[in-house]
Amino acid sequence: MNELCRKGFRIAQQSEKNRFCDIIGFGGSDKPGNFSYLLKEQAKVIERAIDLIGFDKFHLVAHSMGGIIGIELGEMIPNRLRSFINIEGNITAEDCTMSKRARVYCDGDERVDIC
């Protein structure tokens, strides 16, 4: 992450109106065995979190696989979404193929997982 992104993230964290999350099964989030992991289900979880936080209308910023989940969420609750920003995000479910796999760096015969 470059310094401009770090600065923006620090500024955003200072506001009580910003919330950040990993989708279920990714990053630091829980990885329950009984969750379907369908994109629509991920969107429903985020919708429920937004309801619990109490946001009526909001701006949504999504990244990577969160892009397609943000599109799903926008279709579910269009009257609540003020804007949607998709940063390096997927547009369709087919685009998510690479997001689902760990990337591999190949150096000659040596393979090193980098994610």
Which tens digit of pLDDT belongs to each residue from 15-55? 667 777 788 888 778 888 898 888 899 999 999 988 988 88
Q: Look up the pTM and report it.
A: 0.66
Here the tokens at position 83 are 């804007």
- Domains annotated for the chain, with CATH where assigned, are 3-113 (3.40.50.1820)
CA distances from 51 to 27, 46, 55, 78, 79 (A): 22, 9, 6, 14, 14
Whole-number Å distance between alpha carbons of 64 and 107: 26
The answer to whether 53 and 19 are in contact (CB under 8 A) is: yes
Is pLDDT larger for residue 61 or for residue 102? 61
pLDDT tens digits for 80-96?
988 888 887 776 666 65
